Structure 1
Amino acid sequence: MMKRLIMVRHGKSSWEYDVADRDRPLKERGINDAHLVSKTFLKDRPAIDFVFSSPANRALHTAMIFSRNLKFDLQKVQIVDDLYDFSGAAVQSFLKTLDDSLNAVMIFGHNYAFTNLANTWGDRYIENVTTSGLVQIRFEQTTWESISKGKTEQVIFPKHLK
């Protein structure tokens, strides 16, 4: 079965607090945008087998907003250190090791990694995956290890919905 990847960049984060990067929370706008994008995505979303999130507070909070709005089973949400990555190399390595019984996964993480991967794997140039931005790519390959060039099937950015 073909593979489907849904990448969501974390919502807009707050710099108000003197905390480590991993601990930075979402701003109110980030929370609102995550609700907006997830509810738009809900209308014709594919079945999702598993959700993986970066351990960063802002990514995990975004993942929780999406999971709740999509009524996704929280037992199938996992925190993965490799998704706390800004280049895309660790994200790519992680995805290539996924179990092939998973056909559609949603990942929550960071830029520049997600813009890089959207342009590496998708067939549509995206200048920048915005905060709370979603990019869905479908691959004809049947194993995660072999994914290469896919088709960008959906791009939802908050600014397109306001």
Structure 2
Amino acid sequence: MKTITLVRHGKSSWEYDVSDKDRPLKERGINDAHLVAKKAIENDFQVDFAYSSPANRALHTSMIFLRNFSFDFNKFQVREELYDFSGHSVENFITGLGDEIDSVLIFGHNYAFTSLANTWGDQYIDNVPTSGLVKIKFNVDVWSKISKGSTEQIIFPKHLKNK
């Protein structure tokens, strides 16, 4: 069994004159990332390895999640291929993973994550929101053979906030 958990970066700020890669998180993005990470912990979240896009907003989101998980940072890498909006580079990255790893946590971007969640999962998602988490399980033993899996968990910030 292989499991992928996709986490879209938290809400980013447009108020600074910086490159796309350097855009920081807004306070809401930081708070939402903590909220979703804590909910994932309640559901006994387990992962073998984590990867993040090098974009500041994705990397900051990954740090929030991984610290909440007390994750071993020796099992974390920043990968340029994950700075992808179409999903093609993310898909190639995942299908090329070493098969000794069974579960991965990926921090990245939309449109890529909504597209992959719908391609691989069995539940339609209109849009993976910022700080949104989608976990998909595949009944295969090698990453290169993943196709349609089972959407095991969806955690979006709006579902966790008091109205």
* 1:9-35 alpha-carbon deviations (Å, 9 max, x no partner): 000000010000000000000000000
**Are residue 43 (structure 1) and residue 42 (structure 2) matched?**
yes
Unmatched segments (≥5 aa) in structure 2: none
Letter matched to residue 55 of structure 1: P
Shift of 1:138: 0.3
Shift of 1:45: 3.0
**Are residue 105 (structure 1) and residue 95 (structure 2) matched?**
no
Number of equivalenced pairs: 161
Query: What is aligned with 1:81?
Result: 80
Query: What is aligned with 2:124?
Result: 125
TM-score (normalizing by structure 2): 0.98
Query: What is aligned with 2:145?
Result: 146
Query: What is aligned with 2:9?
Result: 10
Query: What is aligned with 1:95?
Result: 94
Letter matched to residue 138 of structure 1: K
Q: Aligned partners of 1:29, 1:46: CA distance in 2, in Å? A: 23
**Are residue 26 (structure 1) and residue 29 (structure 2) matched?**
no
Unmatched segments (≥5 aa) in structure 1: none
Shift of 1:77: 1.0
Letter matched to residue 82 of structure 2: L
Q: Percent identity?
A: 65
Q: Aligned partners of 1:46, 1:33: CA distance in 2, in Å? A: 17
* 1:119-151 alpha-carbon deviations (Å, 9 max, x no partner): 000000000000000000000011000000000
Q: Aligned partners of 2:84, 2:44: CA distance in 1, in Å? A: 26
Shift of 1:75: 1.3
* 1:57-111 alpha-carbon deviations (Å, 9 max, x no partner): 0000000000000010111110000100000000000001100010000000000
Measured on the aligned residues, the alpha-carbon RMSD in Å equals 0.6
TM-score (normalizing by structure 1): 0.98
